[in-house]
Chain A
Amino acid sequence: MISPFTALLQTALPHVKQPLVIAVGLAYFAVIIAISVWASRRTKTASDFFVAGHGIGLIALTVASVSTSVSGFAFIGGPGLIYTVGLGAMFIVLPASVTNVMGAWVLAKRMRLLGEARGLMTVPDAIGARYRSPAAQGLAGIAMLVGIIGYMATNALAMGVVINAIFGVGIGWGIWLGMGVTLAYSVAGGILAGIYNDVFQGTLMAAASVLVFLFVLKVGGGLGDISNTILASDPKFLSPWGKMTPLAALSFFFVFGMGSLGQPQGVHKYYMLRDPMQLKRSSRMAQWPR
């Protein structure tokens, strides 16, 4: 049995390679570079680099947070997983109906105020301050580093797949190119570049999702007709657990429900909010794009 990555490399993906699509792809990279140059000119201190000087507004922060939590893992890999295992894969995104507000109650206020009062900039900083232990802080940093490798790997693969589909450069080169651009804007513009690139990408993802959803409904003749077509060929696909066992699907819900509280790239964003009182509207805004 070959690994999914090997299977992906060996599969002849349909390359788009149309001039208009390539132009849109290049325009996308141009916007990313422009945002990064702008951010690098505004990044002057360590506080600017790590927490954007506590100066990000609520709308930008919300779009960036949702964009980060959806990411290539769910946006590119999610539809593929649903295609493979059916509706059970939805248990990865269903906890979002609860977790945004849960994060707001459990972490948002504490992280924002702790960051301001103690001048904290990273999640391990907060753990070190909470437990008054440099050892706990160091362990948190190591845990993040280990945990983020798998997460980044899935996102790098997603970038490789998309870049290959548009430019036809191969998945390997797509990964190098995508990671190179990400590394460049992260180093040059710090978190400010990250946030506003997330805002740009999140807006694109939201618009694309709505358009694709409407297009699919139109082509499929509505949700009822789509369901009937699937039920006729593969009834198990539309069982609540899909082709997975109930235990596996519920495990997805548990892992992604609880895990959202521990995602450093999400938790870290609470530090950046300009005004803590804006948290009042944060959970409502974060829920609607879902």
Chain B
Amino acid sequence: MKIDITRRAARIVLITAISSIGIGYASAFAKGGAPVWAPWLLALGIPAALGSIMVLGAARGRTGIGSLKLPFLFVFVVLASGFCLALGLPAAEAKGATLLLGLPVRAAIVIYGIGLLPIVVLPVAYAITFDTQTLSEEDIARVREMAKRAK
């Protein structure tokens, strides 16, 4: 039953996230331009949508997503907090501004946080859980046997 709960929850989150992104998009057509809350819908909706798709892709049998919960949560937090900080922090890009690793603070959060941190975590999580969550020699043998029988 666990797999159903995992997938059902992921589907609900995905639909909610895509709906909020859609509302954000639609609001751009409002008179006077997009309201201030519109980008916040995307800032939270995009990480939720990508995260739920990863959950749907990785969920397997009765194990659900197993130990992938942590890396998925990490990526959601990194993306959501990165977008929200970029939106929420005051614009301080000016001559003589404080730089973080060579970039203004908000730009550094986006480039190094959103652009680089998931690269450190996700591929390692994928490789470590590959045999249990993705594919094993037994899986391949089973598929090849089924294909042989079908012929």
Contact = CB atoms under 8 A, between A and B. Distances in A.
A226 B102 CA distance: 8
Contacts of B46: 250, 253-254, 257
B115 to A, nearest CB: 5
Main SS class of interface, A? helix
Nearest to A261: B53
B102 A222 contact: yes
Main SS class of interface, B? helix
Contacts of B123: 100-101, 283-284, 286-287
A34 B110 CA distance: 43
Interface in B121-151: 122-127, 130-131, 134-135, 137, 139-140, 143-144, 146-147, 150
A254 B21 contact: yes
Contact of B126 (A118, A276, A277, A284): A284
A232 B28 CA distance: 32
B103 A223 contact: yes
A9 interface: no
A251 to B, nearest CB: 7
A279 B135 contact: yes
Given A250-B46, A287-B119, A106 B127 contact: no
A98 B48 CA distance: 13
A236 B93 contact: yes
A118 B56 contact: no
Contacts of B116: 97
Interface residues of A, number: 54
B82 to A, nearest CB: 9
A90 B99 contact: no
B49 A224 contact: no
A209 interface: no
Contacts of B114: 94, 97
A84 interface: no
Interface in B62-80: 75, 79
B7 interface: no
A74 interface: no
Given A254-B21, A280-B127, A232 B95 contact: yes
A235 B110 contact: no
Given A106-B56, A109-B135, A247-B39, A239 B107 contact: yes
Contacts of A251: 25, 42
A246 interface: yes
Contacts of B111: 87, 90, 94
B130 A224 contact: no
Contact of A246 (B49, B75, B87): B87
Interface in A216-250: 222-224, 226-228, 231-232, 235-236, 238-241, 245-247, 250
Contacts of A227: 99, 102-104
Pick the 9 closest A-B CB pairs, nearest first.
A223-B102, A106-B57, A105-B57, A117-B147, A246-B39, A284-B123, A250-B42, A101-B122, A240-B86
11 contacts: A95-B50, A98-B118, A101-B54, A104-B126, A106-B54, A107-B57, A118-B147, A226-B102, A258-B53, A281-B127, A287-B119
